């Protein structure tokens, strides 16, 4: 018990006994037969209370309050505190509930009776028992008695449980009012009997004993009913312990309440669980139970039961009963039954926890696997043995454009449209990797297939297909792991295309050069000066074409290495356009016209702008026979240059790819095709100087390339340093 509670009980008990002694001892010389009769009824009232069963506890309703009220109307009311303290002490000691309980039972009796006597002394009684003044004195006096008793009890529970006095009053005010009315009535009845003839007190004693005997049978029935309900609640809560839903400490709290104890503990081997911190003597008693000490034990203030549970006995104990009566053998037997059920429930709880731990481990591993599958960039899907898709990770959704909700639960061939390198589609029932994997064959080597995305694009994927085999050896399905390798295929294709294109582009100027040189070597002396001049000009044109190809390759290399330096100046865009057109060597350059704002200028690198415009003009001339227009315009803070042609146009799916290196439209050997570097270099230069380059086109309607740069004032273009871009 808490030290503060012991100190409180000791203080109020000493105060109570002191008050009773100070008030009552001087009045002992005036004792008469009425006082003796009231003393006898006080002893009977405390010794033979009316028992009330509440939950698992048995409470006693005593009538010492009424005896105190009868004393107020007697000849010597000052004896009431002393008589009631002595009677209470004798009754409680005979029941052996413990020193603290005996001490505390004296506090409300002595102090309450003292308060009642003080009220009677102040108000004064009436001429007879049933006079209005006498009734008022008894009522007010017993109200004071009740108030003192309530405050002392509230102080105790505030220290035991932290209960608030206001809350306790709200819960008990109706019962206190009924108690006051009953005590006043009994007090007036006792006073009336004693005033008529003190010997009538014997009739009151017989009546009290009769009531006690009559109520005992009812109380026993109520106790059994209460115990059955409490046992049912404990059994239900054991089910919670067995499934891990309820902590054992909470269940032990219910055991302690059921037996009206201060606490309960359960010991299995050296493991001890308790609802409250057990005293050392309780721990010592429980741990002294050996392997063969199986049964029930009723100790002075400890109830202990031990049952067999594996190599060690399971022990259940409760201590310090809070009720009116002591524990008996029936309580010990009931505790043994509960201990046996608890041992089984806790064993089941351990098994349940093992299962839960295993399930949690599998869930954790499953969650990790799901996280891995979700985070994997590769597409991963599983198919059941009948070909239905059972899982579909985000990587597969990104690969195909089909989400998990649209894929899971459907047959694989309704979601995945696949074809091999020979453009043959993979269908159910065919002889291909999916069907053989579903049949149990493992394909560790990746297989290259094409998959049709939801947006209509065919993508190359490299996939492995492995069967899912159960512990019994049955094939439960297959797992597909796929990676998009379209970019690799395109790079390989572009490399091969580039080699072919560059070879062709190099041969194109070299072939006439060789012919011109052979002509000059073999027949130069026969040619006229004009013919020699024409040959020299033609050779120079081919050399310029060859030089431009080499420069393009060098620019690409320098851009990749970050070796190109860019300036920041005011560029007159009309002059830049003229320079770009003037440098263009392709035929039909006279078809280009420049229109729009003549003073339009941009803040950029002049050489880069000229190079970009030359690439756009060259592209337009190669792919169209009609006019090419360069439009200069201003759009807010942007300077806009549009290069329009009337060529065959660019399909929408090609409009992003034309800016990729080595990419060309149509047959790479077509005479109007170059190495596929012009637009990619232009896009890279625009990105470096902080502009944008876009294309707007459709098949059959020509193409418009739009260059946007940061606008600036109309400043003439300085002579650009061509070596910064062309020389590499």
Q: Would you state the pLDDT for residue 77?
A: 83
Indicate if 568 and 646 belong to the same structural domain.
Answer: yes
Q: Which of 237-241, 382-386, 456-460, 564-568 has the lowest mean pLDDT?
A: 237-241
Asked if the structure places residue 183 within a domain, the reply is yes
Indicate if 131 and 258 belong to the same structural domain.
Answer: no
Token pair of 59 as six digits: 């409470």
CA atoms within 13 A on the CB side of 353: 13
Q: Would you state the pLDDT for residue 53?
A: 47
Asked if the structure places residue 435 within a domain, the reply is yes
Token pair of 450 as six digits: 């094409």
Indicate if 169 and 280 belong to the same structural domain.
Answer: no
Task: Name the 3-class secondary structure at 406.
Answer: helix
Please give the full DSSP string across 200-268, using - where no structure is assigned: GHHHHHHHHHHHHHHHHHHHHHHHHHHHHHHHHHHHHHHHHHHTTSS-HHHHHHHHHHHTTEEEEEEEE
Domain boundary among 353, 385, 402: 353
Asked if the structure places residue 364 within a domain, the reply is no
Domain harbouring 494, CATH code: 1.10.287.130
Distances in Å between the alpha carbon of 28 and those of 21, 22, 651? 10, 11, 124
**pLDDT averaged over the chain?**
77
Indicate if 345 and 409 belong to the same structural domain.
Answer: no
- Average pLDDT of 399-425? 87
Q: 646 pLDDT exceeds 70?
A: yes
Domain boundary among 530, 559, 588: 559
pLDDT tens digits for 329-381?
778 888 888 888 777 777 777 777 788 788 888 777 777 777 776 777 788 88
Indicate if 554 and 654 belong to the same structural domain.
Answer: no
Domain boundary among 511, 527, 559: 559
pLDDT tens digits for 456-515?
888 888 888 888 887 777 888 888 888 888 888 777 776 776 677 677 667 777 888 888
Domain harbouring 450, CATH code: 3.30.450.20
Q: Which of 99-103, 230-234, 486-490, 601-605 has the highest mean pLDDT?
A: 601-605
Indicate if 187 and 42 belong to the same structural domain.
Answer: yes
Asked if the structure places residue 209 within a domain, the reply is no
Distances in Å between the alpha carbon of 116 and those of 23, 122, 135, 639? 12, 10, 13, 105
Indicate if 553 and 568 belong to the same structural domain.
Answer: no
Higher pLDDT, 274 or 727: 274
User: Rounded to the nearest 5°, which phi and psi values hold at 286?
Assistant: -65, -45
Q: Would you state the pLDDT for residue 62?
A: 66
Q: Would you state the pLDDT for residue 270?
A: 72
Q: 444 pLDDT exceeds 70?
A: no
Q: Which helix (H) or strand (E) holds 302?
A: strand 302-309
Q: 643 pLDDT exceeds 90?
A: yes
Asked if the structure places residue 367 within a domain, the reply is no
Partnered with residue 131 across adjacent β-strands are none
Domain harbouring 266, CATH code: 3.30.450.40
Cα gap 273→342, rounded to integer Å: 12
Indicate if 177 and 269 belong to the same structural domain.
Answer: no
Indicate if 181 and 105 belong to the same structural domain.
Answer: yes
pLDDT tens digits for 268-296?
777 788 888 888 878 887 777 654 344 55
Asked if the structure places residue 243 within a domain, the reply is yes
Instruction: Using only the alpha carbons of the chain, give its radius of gyration.
Output: 54
Partnered with residue 468 across adjacent β-strands are 477
- Label residue 31 by pLDDT band (50, 70, 90): confident
Indicate if 145 and 253 belong to the same structural domain.
Answer: no
Q: 709 pLDDT exceeds 50?
A: yes
Indicate if 532 and 616 belong to the same structural domain.
Answer: no
What is the tally of structural domains in the chain? Answer: 5
Indicate if 462 and 532 belong to the same structural domain.
Answer: no
Contact 562, 621 (CB under 8 A): no
Q: Would you state the pLDDT for residue 277?
A: 82
Q: Which of 162-176, 394-408, 482-496, 566-580 has the lowest mean pLDDT?
A: 162-176
Asked if the structure places residue 15 within a domain, the reply is yes
Phi-psi region of 618 (alpha: psi -120 to 50; beta: other; left: phi over 0): alpha
Q: Which domain holds residue 451?
A: 376-482
Q: How many residues does the chain have?
A: 728
Domain harbouring 25, CATH code: 1.10.1760
Q: 143 pLDDT exceeds 80?
A: yes
Q: Would you state the pLDDT for residue 312?
A: 66
Asked if the structure places residue 215 within a domain, the reply is no
């Amino acid at each position: 018990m808490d030290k503060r509670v012991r100190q409180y009980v000791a203080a109020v008990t000493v105060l109570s006994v002191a008050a009773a002694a100070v008030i009552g001892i001087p009045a002992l010389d005036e004792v008469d037969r009425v006082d003796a009769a009231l003393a006898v009824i006080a002893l009977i009232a405390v010794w033979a209370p009316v028992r009330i069963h509440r939950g698992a506890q048995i409470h006693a309703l005593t009538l010492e309050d009424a005896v105190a009220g009868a004393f107020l109307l007697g000849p010597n009311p000052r004896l009431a505190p002393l008589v009631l303290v002595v009677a209470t002490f004798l009754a409680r000691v005979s029941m052996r509930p413990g020193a603290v309980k005996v001490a505390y039972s004296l506090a409300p009796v002595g102090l309450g009776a003292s308060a009642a006597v003080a009220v009677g002394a102040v108000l004064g009684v009436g001429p007879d028992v049933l006079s209005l003044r006498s009734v008022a004195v008894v009522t007010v006096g017993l109200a004071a008695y009740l108030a003192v008793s309530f405050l002392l009890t509230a102080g105790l529970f505030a220290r035991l449980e932290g209960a608030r006095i206001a809350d306790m009053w709200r819960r008990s005010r109706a019962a206190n009012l009924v108690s006051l009315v009953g005590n006043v009535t009994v007090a007036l009845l006792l006073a009336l009997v004693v005033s008529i003839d003190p010997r009538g007190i014997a009739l009151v004693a017989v009546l009290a004993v009769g009531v006690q005997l009559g109520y005992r049978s009812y109380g026993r029935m109520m106790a059994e009913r209460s115990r059955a309900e409490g046992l049912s609640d404990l059994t239900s809560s054991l089910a919670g312990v067995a499934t891990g839903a309820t902590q054992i400490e909470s269940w032990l709290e219910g055991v302690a309440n059921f037996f009206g104890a201060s606490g309960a503990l359960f010991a299995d081997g050296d493991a001890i669980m308790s609802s409250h911190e057990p005293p050392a003597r309780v721990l010592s008693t429980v741990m002294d139970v050996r392997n063969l000490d199986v049964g029930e034990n009723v100790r002075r203030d400890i109830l202990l039961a031990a049952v067999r549970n594996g190599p060690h006995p399971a022990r259940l104990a409760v201590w310090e009963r809070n009720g009116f009566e002591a524990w008996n053998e029936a309580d010990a037997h009931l505790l043994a039954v509960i201990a046996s059920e608890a041992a089984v429930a806790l064993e089941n709880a351990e098994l349940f926890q093992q299962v839960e731990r295993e399930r949690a481990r599998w869930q954790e591993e499953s969650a990790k696997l799901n996280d891995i599958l979700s985070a994997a960039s590769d597409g991963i899907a599983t198919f059941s043995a009948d070909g239905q898709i059972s899982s579909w990770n985000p990587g597969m959704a990104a690969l195909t454009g089909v989400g998990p909700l649209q894929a899971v639960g459907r047959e694989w061939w309704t979601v995945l449209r696949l074809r091999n390198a020979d453009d043959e589609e993979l269908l159910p029932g065919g002889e291909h990797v999916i069907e053989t994997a579903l049949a149990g064959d493992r394909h560790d080597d990746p297989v290259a297939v094409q998959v049709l995305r939801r947006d209509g694009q065919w993508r190359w994927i490299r996939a492995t297909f492995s069967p899912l085999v159960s512990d019994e050896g049955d094939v439960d399905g297959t797992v597909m792991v796929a990676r998009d390798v379209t970019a690799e295929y395109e790079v390989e294709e572009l490399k091969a295309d580039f080699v072919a294109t560059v070879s062709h582009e190099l041969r194109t100027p070299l072939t006439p050069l060789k012919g011109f040189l052979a002509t000059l070597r073999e027949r130069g002396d026969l040619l006229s000066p004009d013919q020699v001049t024409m040959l020299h000009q033609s050779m120079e044109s081919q050399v310029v074409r060859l030089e431009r190809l080499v420069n393009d390759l060098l620019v690409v290399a320098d851009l990749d290495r970050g070796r190109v330096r860019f300036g920041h100046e005011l560029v007159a865009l009309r002059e830049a356009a003229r320079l770009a057109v003037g440098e263009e060597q392709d035929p039909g350059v006279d078809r280009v016209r420049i229109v729009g704002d003549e003073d339009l200028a941009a803040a950029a690198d002049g050489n880069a702008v000229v190079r970009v415009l030359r690439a756009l003009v060259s592209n337009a001339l190669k792919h169209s026979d009609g006019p090419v227009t360069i439009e200069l315009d201003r759009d807010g803070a942007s300077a806009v240059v549009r290069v329009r042609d009337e060529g065959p146009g660019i399909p929408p799916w090609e409009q992003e790819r034309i800016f990729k290196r080595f990419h060309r439209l149509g047959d790479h050997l077509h005479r109007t095709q170059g190495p596929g570097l012009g637009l990619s270099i232009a896009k890279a230069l625009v990105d470096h100087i902080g502009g944008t380059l876009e294309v707007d086109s459709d098949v059959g309607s020509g193409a418009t390339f739009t260059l946007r740069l940061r606008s600036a004032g109309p400043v003439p273009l300085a002579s650009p340093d061509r070596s910064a871009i062309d020389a590499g």
